[in-house]
Amino acid sequence: MKLIKNNVYFCGVQDPHRRLFDELIPLPDGTTYNSYLVKGSEKTALIDTSYSTKVVEFLECLEGESKIDCIIANHGEGDHTDALKFVLEKYPKALIYCTQKCCDILVDAHEIPLEKFHVIADGEKLSLGDKTLQFTIAPWVHWPDTMFTYVEEDKILFTCDFLGAHSIVNEVFVTPSEEYLQGARRYYGEIMMPFRTQCKNYIQKIEALKPEIICPSHGGVYDKPEFILEAYKEWTGDIPKNKVVIPYVSMYGNTEKAIVYLEEKLTKLGVKVDKFDLVKDDAGEYVCSLVDAATIIFAAPMVLAGPHPAAMSGLILTNALRPNIKFMGTINSFGWGGDFMGKVKANLNLQVEMFDPIAFKGKAKAKDKEQIEALAELIAQKHKEIGARN
């Protein structure tokens, strides 16, 4: 356990070998499950617990703690609550403080009896003696059950998943760096981007609170909160960047040559391009790129009488992430037919302006390249019209 400030301690557990989150997005650096102990003059509160694979390590972290009076569950997902039952066995008098929705989740998932819960009201305070916890119900970052906990006297805010990062920090506090930001951005893209509007509102509320320290339940502790708050303000902004993301699949190189041609034309026009091979590249990098892109161009061949399945899988992932994309187009190489754009439109769940499709038999010929050049010019023009940022 490590001291954060004035009898507030960090008791996080590292999981450096975890390679996937939600069985979906790669974790190149693993992750952490952070828990915190707040020791007041009368009561001790444990904030969040840990994941099923780390229960032993987590309980070792609490060794020597003679009492825990309250367990604050800011969020009911298993990576923060699997250890709850074991904590309750060790500290049977402890009461769980959480939202009604979180209580419902925990009763169902862990079969914890209802009498072990105190359901909080928005703004409710809990005195620990010389410290006061204040609870704020903050749904949809990223489940309907989520809340924040604030220690008024120490100006420390506990946000659970919100503002977290899949990064490991050995010294507890985050040293602001581009590398750390990349982990936080990957985390934001997968976990929080679908709730961009809520994130934006909570950032405003947190700034008004003026916390001196922010303690999320993944990654490190921010003793310079402006580092992560400024990053979230940028990521949740309404105006995207002058950037095109091209998720693609290429079987014989024809689709890839066409998108490289598009990339060359866009680059000459001053538009940034990120390309991602949907079969071979890290999906997390794709997610990161979506955070501030203005346009997506899906590019893929037809196979087995339909669009390449990896392209459709990429489309479904993109739908789920709800990026702030404004424009979309398709590039498609086919053998004998098919309607790639039609299938994309039928499966798309984003409010975007669609460009005319570009489709060609085999490799792109001169007339197809003309279409690609025209698409590049149209994208550059559209980005200018919306005031896309450079």
Q: Which among 200, 198, 163 has a CA at the least distance from the CA of 183?
A: 163
Using CB under 6 A as the binding rule, whether residue 54 contacts ligand FEO is answered as no
Rule CB under 6 A: say whether 18 interacts with ligand FEO.
no
Segment 150 to 209, residues that bind ligand FEO, using CB under 6 A: 161
The span from the CA of 215 to the CA of 36, in Å, is: 8
Question: Peptide bond before 142: cis, by omega within 30 degrees of 0?
Answer: yes
- Kindly write out the interface string for residues 141-160 of this chain, putting x where it contacts ligand FEO by CB under 6 A and - elsewhere: -x------------------
Comparison of 140 and 227: residue with beta carbon closer to ligand FEO: 140
Q: Rule CB under 6 A: say whether 368 interacts with ligand FEO.
A: no
300 touches 252 (CB < 8 A): no
- Which residues, listed in sequence order, are joined to residue 173 by a DSSP beta bridge? 221
What's the Cα-to-Cα distance from 28 to each of 6, 33, 78, 246, 283, rounded to whole Å?
Answer: 34, 16, 21, 22, 11
Give yes or no for residue 80 binding ligand FEO (CB under 6 A). yes
Give the nearest distance from C-beta 215 to ligand FEO in angstroms: 13
| Total number of residues shown for the chain | 390
C-beta of 15 vs 368, nearer to ligand FEO: 15
Residues 6+ apart with CB under 8 A from 237: 292
Number of residues that bind ligand FEO (CB under 6 A): 8
Q: Does 75 bind ligand FEO (CB under 6 A)?
A: yes
Strand, coil or helix: 174: coil
77 lies in the site for ligand FEO, by CB under 6 A: yes
Contacting range for ligand FEO; rule: CB under 6 A; set: 77-85, 99-107, 273-281, 358-366:
77-85
For ligand FEO, which stretch binds (CB under 6 A), given 75-83, 313-321, 345-353, 371-379?
75-83
Is 101 a binding residue for ligand FEO by CB under 6 A? The answer is no
- Phi, psi for 324 (deg, rounded to 5): -85, 50
The residue from 15, 29, 79, 292 that contacts ligand FEO (CB under 6 A) is 79
The percent helix, strand, coil of the chain (3-state, each to 5) is 35, 25, 35
Binding site for ligand FEO (CB under 6 A): 75, 77, 79-80, 142, 161, 217-218
